[in-house]
Homo-oligomer: A and B are copies of this chain.
Amino acid sequence: MSLSQLWIIKIGGNIIDDPAGLNRFLERFAYLRGKKILVHGGGKIATRMAADLGIEAKLVDGRRITDEAMLRVVTMVYAGLTNKLVVAGLQASGCNALGLSGADGNTIEAVKRPVGEIDYGFVGDIRPDSVDADAIATLIEGGFTPVFSAITHDGKGQLLNTNADTIASALAVALSARYSTSLVYCFEKRGVLLDVHDEQSVIPEIRASQFDELRASGVIADGMVPKLHNAFDAIGKGVDEVCIGHADDLHLLREHQFGTRMVR
């Protein structure tokens, strides 16, 4: 039996922070046919809100720390303001969006990151087995389009700040048992570029077997290495394809014309 298709699409803060770009994206997302999930990151609103409230952003060795005050702010902004603006925007375009944190329906239960050299505070780590695929499939089959903010919980009453890229990947892996899952990351470039200075040089497809070669030759370097490593890791765990490209190209997704496509 062939599984039905499910899109898991992640947008980052760069889209959230640009009202016109966000509206363009939401329209494109709404018009994408089929079953789908949206995962959104934070953006600068939380940082600005914290500053306005006199809460200092805490950094240790350049890493962001989520103390109690900052957890309140990100819960308000990510799960409240941003999530509801996205949901209301999608509803206006006819997409039956339903906003979630990991606490809602116990969809994603995380573990508070253990204190090692750095105490990250209220940060939650998740794995695919943190995801309740049954609960999420119930929502999808009920006609809803889940919209996840980057907030989870530990199942004992504690909310946790959680990386949105990891949420998207864990959702795609966990749901790959019952759907043919495509994981889509929208970022600020058109895709993986052969020449980093030429936006037209998008590599349309990368197979797992080509990844090591592209890395050795230096075509894939710097920030793209972990991105692609995570993509092939998800594919190794059951995800059908991982696509990476610009939010403005989302309408080209179904025709395989969106950015770079990573496959087995």
- Give Cα A156 to B81, complex, Å: 17
- With A80-B81, A142-B142 known to touch, is A103 a contact of B75 (CB < 8 Å)? no
Q: Answer whether residue A203 sits at the interface, using C-beta atoms and an 8 A cutoff.
A: no
B151 touching A84 by the CB < 8 A rule? yes
User: Which residues of chain B are within 8 angstroms of A214 by Cβ–Cβ distance?
Assistant: none
A105 touching B101 by the CB < 8 A rule? no
User: Which residues of chain B are within 8 angstroms of A113 by Cβ–Cβ distance?
Assistant: none
Instruction: Tell me the A93-118 residues at the B interface (CB within 8 Å).
Output: 96-101, 103-106
Output the residue of A54, A80, A138, A156 with the most chain B CB within 10 A.
A80
User: Which residues of chain B are within 8 angstroms of A88 by Cβ–Cβ distance?
Assistant: 103, 153, 157-159
User: Which residues of chain B are within 8 angstroms of A49 by Cβ–Cβ distance?
Assistant: 53, 76
| Interface residues on chain A, number (Cβ under 8 Å) | 43
Q: Answer whether residue A12 sits at the interface, using C-beta atoms and an 8 A cutoff.
A: no
Output the residue of A72, A77, A104 with the most chain B CB within 10 A.
A104
- Give Cα A72 to B46, complex, Å: 13
User: Which residues of chain B are within 8 angstroms of A99 by Cβ–Cβ distance?
Assistant: 100-101, 103-104
User: Which residues of chain B are within 8 angstroms of A52 by Cβ–Cβ distance?
Assistant: 53-54
A97 touching B104 by the CB < 8 A rule? yes
Distance from A67 Cβ to chain B, minimum over Cβ atoms (Å): 15
Q: Answer whether residue A87 sits at the interface, using C-beta atoms and an 8 A cutoff.
A: yes
- Which of B72, B78, B87, B135 contacts A104, CB < 8 Å? B87
User: Which residues of chain B are within 8 angstroms of A196 by Cβ–Cβ distance?
Assistant: none
Q: Answer whether residue A79 sits at the interface, using C-beta atoms and an 8 A cutoff.
A: yes
List 22 A-B residue pairs with CB atoms under 8 Å apart, sorted by A's residue number.
A49-B76, A52-B54, A53-B53, A72-B81, A76-B80, A77-B80, A79-B80, A80-B80, A80-B83, A87-B103, A89-B157, A91-B103, A91-B106, A92-B155, A96-B106, A96-B135, A98-B100, A98-B104, A105-B144, A135-B143, A138-B143, A138-B144
Q: Answer whether residue A85 sits at the interface, using C-beta atoms and an 8 A cutoff.
A: yes
